[in-house]
């Protein structure tokens, strides 16, 4: 399904053929990436658990995002809220409005399922642009502190500033 098609940007359902390209592009930009996460997202989509979206820029795969309408994990898991998960635009396609349009479509989909949507954002500097974007889009911290490896990181406990250290943010319709 195509959700958006204008000015060189196409937002559509993620396809199996996208998985290899995205993996190769992430590795080329220095990420420790495998095809496994895309295969999982495609499986979840086939099972009806998620909506996996891809973005194209002038016919080239440029990014991805996933919506879980009834998320089961994270700060708001099992509350009937939609979660936005695993959002990225490849570095060479950034600053073209692709990320904003991916978020627009993901939020439209998420809000069609619940009046609250949430997401987790990493805390290291690699997530800086995402942190700023989420705040500008009206997301606020959940107030429960940070999470590490899918659990609340208790005060004064050790954690590591890696991709598993996240802050959950929510947005109300």
Evaluate whether residue 158 is within a structural domain: no
pTM of the model: 0.93
150 assigned to some structural domain? no
pLDDT digits (tens, 9 = 90+) for 58-86: 999 999 999 999 999 889 999 999 999 99
CA dist., res. 18 & res. 38, Å (int): 8
Residue 91 belongs to domain spanning? 2-122
Position 131 scores a pLDDT of: 94
Give domain status of residue 75, yes or no: yes
- How many domains does the chain contain in total? 1
Residue 65 lies in a domain: yes
Instruction: State the average pLDDT over residues 120-143.
Output: 94
Instruction: Kindly report the CATH number assigned to the domain that includes residue 104.
Output: 3.40.630.30
Residues in Cβ contact with 46 at an 8 Å cutoff, skipping those fewer than 6 apart: none
């Amino acid at each position: 399904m195509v959700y958006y098609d204008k000015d060189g940007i196409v937002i559509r359902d993620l396809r199996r053929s996208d998985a290899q390209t995205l993996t190769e592009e992430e590795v080329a930009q220095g990420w420790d990436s495998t095809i496994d996460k895309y295969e999982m997202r495609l499986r979840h989509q086939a099972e009806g658990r998620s909506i996996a979206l891809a973005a194209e820029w002038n016919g080239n795969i440029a990014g991805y995002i996933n919506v879980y309408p009834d998320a089961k994990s994270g700060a708001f898991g099992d509350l009937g809220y939609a979660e936005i998960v695993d959002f990225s635009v490849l570095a060479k396609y950034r600053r073209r409005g692709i990320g904003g349009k991916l978020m627009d479509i993901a939020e439209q989909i998420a809000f069609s399922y619940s009046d609250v949507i949430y997401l987790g954002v990493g805390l290291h500097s690699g997530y800086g642009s995402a942190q700023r974007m989420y705040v500008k889009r009206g997301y606020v911290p959940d107030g429960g502190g940070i999470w590490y490896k899918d659990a609340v990181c208790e005060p004064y406990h050790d954690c590591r500033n890696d991709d598993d250290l996240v802050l959950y943010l929510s947005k109300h319709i």
